[in-house]
Structure 1
């Protein structure tokens, strides 16, 4: 190497390592002597043509893009007498291979393993986002900074993935860490995940998945055999960690984790921990984060119907209805007798305006659970949308027959819907009974009193109607509607002076002005128009019962 005592602007000081593609030296800048770097001198045979030269510099530009805290930084690149070289920062903390050798006497803690894998995954994820894969990830090229952070080196074998999900290339890599597809000349981002899975396996067990001195035997095992799960080799490893590693080592790349960060995150927490965190986030209405937690739990327990349901509910809250529908359908596939899943699927279909499909989903919910009041209520909503008012009323009345409706204050809405559609159908006795039931369940809802007042007016029970509107006013909500009803009741009682006084007081408020301005002298005409206005206001309750969160979020993975 005498002829290479200097290269570019650097003086070579001492060799650090050597590999298939070249040697690495510690070097210093010829002028800036305090700048100590690493120089990788590649074999000259790699650059034999102008095309090779262009390819080398193109690859160097890609490597220069990889500015990440856990990737060894490329400082310079060049050719000297057709010998290609890369100048990088110097990693002074040794390599993961050296650390693995030392761990034979002092094993890694689980926290150490998680930190190492997390940093590697963050670096790989960054590279993959730039469509660059490593192709030769192994402990030898996972280095450490002086502060103990990961620095991934040797992206020199990487290939750009352009718009394809994988490319065919020459067989390259280090056999103990090569994915099955790499032995067939196929590279992909999932190949890096497989290599990381091999490294995780080695960190957790002290051995590679397929130890063998024979490269052909090793290749055969990578292609066709399953290694013993890590928790079998090392019983101290949590089973969910073992499952995550084995998924990363799947023979088919499509069956691995969605990405390297997903793999490492699956190691970090158990399904139960992901579920509990998701439930807490859901309770805080942080639905995006909750959905992510449920998805992480599903990575580890992919056939859990209740987890799919929790994820679907979070997605529904995010108004990502198509994704939610897919998750509900998966829930039902796994648990066909899950009535709540059918009900919530129907609600998503309603949002997508697929009303007939929604009706079928609600019907299935009531077949599974004939006492499911909410499903009957939702059936009524769809039938109303389809202008099938008689059938809608029948559905609402069916809902009111359920025991739960008589106990839960939130179900006063069911009676209110029964009341409003009965008003539309001129069934004033039915409407009156429904509103009285709503008031009995929840006496603090002004619109129940208003609806009762409207029904009483049509039944010519004007004194009682006036009392009902005054009760609505005492709740201090929906005062515009309540005042309008009171004025009409006073008109019907021929208390015109008092009606005018209430009217003029209401006009002084901007809040009431628009509706008050529609009040005329004809009480019957006012009542007809007021009924329509009230019905329009009441339509806003349609979705109040369908606050998409599950009534009971599963407390444990066993329930989920």
Structure 2
């Protein structure tokens, strides 16, 4: 066993001892061998840690929990380790000539140096550990080199080479002549918000690059953001960086700068959210000129970080944009889950802010407004095209609509006039027919036959009357056919006594069902005249004949005896037909129809419909279609009343002539060519209850106006097409610019 006599100081206090040391003696902290000439009972590595602690204490160095890790090894007093050889005259290190000292820290000093081999200026960082540094310190220094060597990003300080000089570790990196961001803040104060956002976007993307490669920085602060000559930021100082898949070098150790720490980082828990928090602190510092939390002691600062919400940046800088303030405050959330999920998400939020794009919390109105601000040219073109379209298209539609409305009103007025004229014609024809019936009812032979009950004579009179009015000389025949298709006689009780029809219908009696028609409208109307001793006629409602099944209206007149008392009723029937004689008014667009009120059938309390179409161009003989139309019903009611009996053929007031722009032809069910919307004019025929309808198909009448509307719309679209093409081009240009490398996300 080698025994060496030496004077040494143990860790409990200074004392001179003169005793042998066993060569195999171990360090009480790391169990490494202690050299025989060691001044303390510590190995060189732990002894270096003591030297670092002493140097920090003497120079009031930064708070570092690693100091506490080695505190129990500190002697009561000690000396500052020697400065690097470069400070003592040796200025050549591994092919690099030192120029001057730039900065210093707990791990080493940074020098500006000249790389003699590459001919470039570099920054050289040399470890302060002496010849036998602590393993923890060495591992931290080597970790910085290892972490930096794995990275390749334009905003991360690159490492050029690493080596050892006389037992001291060093590495070289790109020289940043712009100094640190902390120095810039100290000189200039808070940055312009947009400049701060642009700078922090680049820093956040650099930090995201770290995270993608499994590295946490854990000590992001403005002093560790270096600026080049162009003012571009670069992330530096990876001395306490940690791999995401590794545990901390010291379990539970709190590393980093407390002023920039996340709440959970102060307890030793580090994740990517901690770096996002630190980025938020730097952003807060850049836009307000101060840190979010300050204090006299470390404990006070940590308490504020954990429990006090940061002051709104806008309270410090009122002109600050709300979105940027919210981005900053979201990074500083106490709950890591409420922060941005990654540094890249923060970078994207800052890019949206710089591009005036809406943030994720923006409302639809805010998003639309931000889009307008971002794409002013495109928005202007769209606004111009839309404005043009909103002016031209409605103008075209308005012009066409006004022309169509005018044309519609014109056609309705024409149809009203036509209906009034046709109603006058029909009324004139009805007077002629009524005169014929009134003359026939005044024949003495008819009165004698009724009084005598001579049925054959009554039938002979019906036949002769029918044949008589086939003769045009009587002035009743309207064309080649007689308008009357049957004549018959009722006694004063409404019982049928005789008839003649076309074609002839055999007269017979049915004992169980006598031909009694006192319930018919034609009997009631004529007998009302008889009771007033009026020699006149009555135009009845439309009936469906029980003899031949045809639809027809009748004209009836009372028959008086020699003493002037009413003894019976003479009735003449006029069947529905395409023309009802000559009552046809047709042109290329309009048709004329005649509607009349409907009488009820036997044993039916009400008629099947209020009115029927009595005249229509497509009718077969005796055909009629039901009509339920409110305007026709109102005209029927207005033109009847007391005048219906006493003056059925009198002229109605002009105010009863009306129109409709949405008339539907009931004949459209069996005849589809009459389907659709019609413009119609209505006019009553005297006080008979009949109504003339002159109708024009709207689609045909307004075809020219609709064609004009299409032309105007086409012209407007053609006029707007150049603007639309410009809008599409602008949108393409914006889309293409959005994919350009200048804003491409890394």
TM norm structure 1: 0.46
Higher relative contact order (CA 8 A, sep 6+): 2
Higher helix share: 1
Greater Rg by CA: 2
TM norm structure 2: 0.35
Higher strand share: 2
